């Protein structure tokens, strides 16, 4: 009986932890970008640099937060379906083989917002609680 209760408590805690990290970020683009919605698949392709052009043909420039960011951890887990360490390994292998380089990184959400404001093709992410003034927040479908 004790094992059943322990198992149930663990399941409940995992469910709450998953709920807490789900959608704890917003995807942002430059205000001039015509895009309004984006799929998780397209976001993953963009941040793995498999998709490099917006629908209008302009170049996409993804921007990541630093690896220790909780927002990056949530984004990587939910959108890329891999943890930050696995993504860093992916980019190390890509760089070593000459297949590509990782997205630019910024140290803070304010820096991500500034980067997106200054680069028309940029796409980044910030925590839901961060003020997104000056950039457009996309709907993820």
Q: Which domains does the chain have, with CATH numbers?
A: 2-140 (3.40.190.10)
Alpha-carbon radius of gyration of the chain: 17
Which residues are paired to 62 by β-bridges? 123
CA atoms of 72 and 98, how far apart (whole Å): 25
pLDDT in tens, 84-110: 999 999 999 999 999 899 999 999 999
Q: Quote the pTM value.
A: 0.82
Spatial strand order of the sheet with 135-140 comes to: 37-38, 135-140, 25-30, 122-127, 61-65, 104-106
Q: What is the full per-residue pLDDT of the chain (141 aa) written as tens digits? A: 555 544 444 454 454 444 444 559 999 999 999 999 999 999 999 999 999 999 999 999 999 999 999 999 999 999 999 999 999 999 999 999 998 999 999 999 999 999 999 999 999 999 999 999 999 999 999
């Amino acid at each position: 009986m004790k094992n059943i209760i322990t198992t149930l408590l663990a399941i409940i805690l995992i469910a709450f932890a998953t709920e807490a990290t789900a959608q704890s970020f917003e995807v942002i683009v430059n205000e001039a970008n015509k895009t309004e919605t984006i799929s998780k698949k397209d976001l993953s392709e963009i941040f793995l640099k498999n998709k490099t052009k917006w629908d209008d043909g302009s170049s996409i420039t993804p921007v990541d937060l630093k690896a220790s960011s909780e927002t990056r951890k949530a984004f990587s887990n939910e959108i890329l379906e891999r943890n930050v360490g696995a993504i860093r390994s992916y980019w190390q292998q890509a760089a070593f083989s000459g297949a590509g380089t990782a997205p630019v990184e910024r140290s803070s959400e304010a820096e991500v917002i500034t980067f997106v404001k200054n680069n028309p093709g940029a796409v980044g992410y910030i925590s839901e609680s961060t003020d997104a003034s000056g950039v457009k927040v996309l709907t993820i479908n």
